[in-house]
Structure 1
Amino acid sequence: MDKKAKALELYLEGFKVVEIAKELGVSQPAVTKMLKQFPEYHQEKERRKKENQEKARQWRNEYKKQKREQYDEDYELVLKSHREDAAALSRRGKLSDDILIKLCILNYDYNKEKERLVFNESAGKRPADLPRSVYVHKNVLKQFRIPTRQ
């Protein structure tokens, strides 16, 4: 069997031009030149092209689907957070003291004697809607309590 027929046979079996060139010990352009002489080569090349286009289309669709799912998950988290915030605001049209304190906790110091969180004026001027102090049970905010030595 001559090289041309062998090249065509290998190509029709699914080998790539690079692999055929290594098998026959010739260059890639030489293999392509040999194969172009056969009408079967052009048909097989067209078939492979369509197959690759279909694979690429499926890959793109799968990629878009994954991105869409990720976006939907992120969107659900944002919606959940929005619903919680809306629920907090909807109580009598304003935030409760607990929520305000929670949002501004860094501006409050724990007063051990009074068992209260007291607004720290060194953080700046206290907004009118923030309470000056809030009672806190001993067990609630342990990080503000100073440990006692025995």
Structure 2
Amino acid sequence: MDKKAKAFKLYLEGFKLVEIAQQLGVSQPAVTKMLKQFPEYHQEKERRKKENQEKARQWRNAYKKQQREQYDEEYEAMKREQAQAAMSLSRKGRLSNDALIKLCILHYDYNKQKERLVFNESAGKRPADLPRSVYVHKDVLKQFRSYTL
């Protein structure tokens, strides 16, 4: 079998031009020149082109779908976080004094005589929603101390 026929046969089997050139020991342009002599080459070339376009289209669609799903997940997480923040800031979902103090524990000092946490004015001006002082039971005081360490 001559090189032209072998090149065409390999091309029809699905080999790429580079692979055919390596097997025959010729350059890629030489393989192209050999294949152009066959009328079926152009039909096969068009078929491969359409097949590759379809694969590329499917890949792009899958990629876009993946990006949309990732965006949707991030959007839903952001909506949940925003809803939680809105509830915590709303008047209906008011935080307890203990929760407020846990969030701002660094601004409070413990007064042993009164057994209270007292707002430290050196930390800055006290916001209106923070209590000046809060009674803390000795058993509960341990959890507040863990925040100050």
Unpaired runs of at least 5, structure 1: none
Residue 138 of structure 1 corresponds to which residue in structure 2?
Answer: 141
Q: Deviations over 1:58-94 (max 9, x none)?
A: 1111111111111111111111112222222333486
- Other structure's SS at 2:143 match: coil
Q: Which residue of 1 aligns with 2:128?
A: 128
| Identity, % of aligned positions | 74
Write the letter of the residue equivalent to 1:69. E
Aligned to 1:13: 13
Closer/same/farther in 2, CA of residues 107 and 37 from structure 1, 3 Å limit: farther
**Distance in structure 2 (CA, Å) of the matches to 1:89 and 1:145:** 25
In 2: Cα distance, 1:103 partner to 1:144 partner: 9
- 1:125 to 1:11, Cα distance in 2 relative to 1, 3 A: same
If the length of structure 2 is used for normalisation, what is the TM-score? 0.80
Asked whether the 8 Å contact 1:118–1:132 carries over to 2, the reply is yes
SS of residue in 2 equivalent to 1:131? coil
Contact 2:118/2:132, CA 8 A, preserved across alignment:
yes
1:88-146 residue CA offsets vs partner (Å, 9 max, x unmatched): 2333486554454454344344x162554433333322223322233442353351478
What is the correspondence of 1:15-94 to structure 2 with a 5 Å cutoff? 15-92=15-92
Aligned residues: 145
Residue type of the alignment partner of 1:123:
A
Structure 2 unmatched ranges of 5 or more = none
TM-score, normalised on structure 1?
0.79
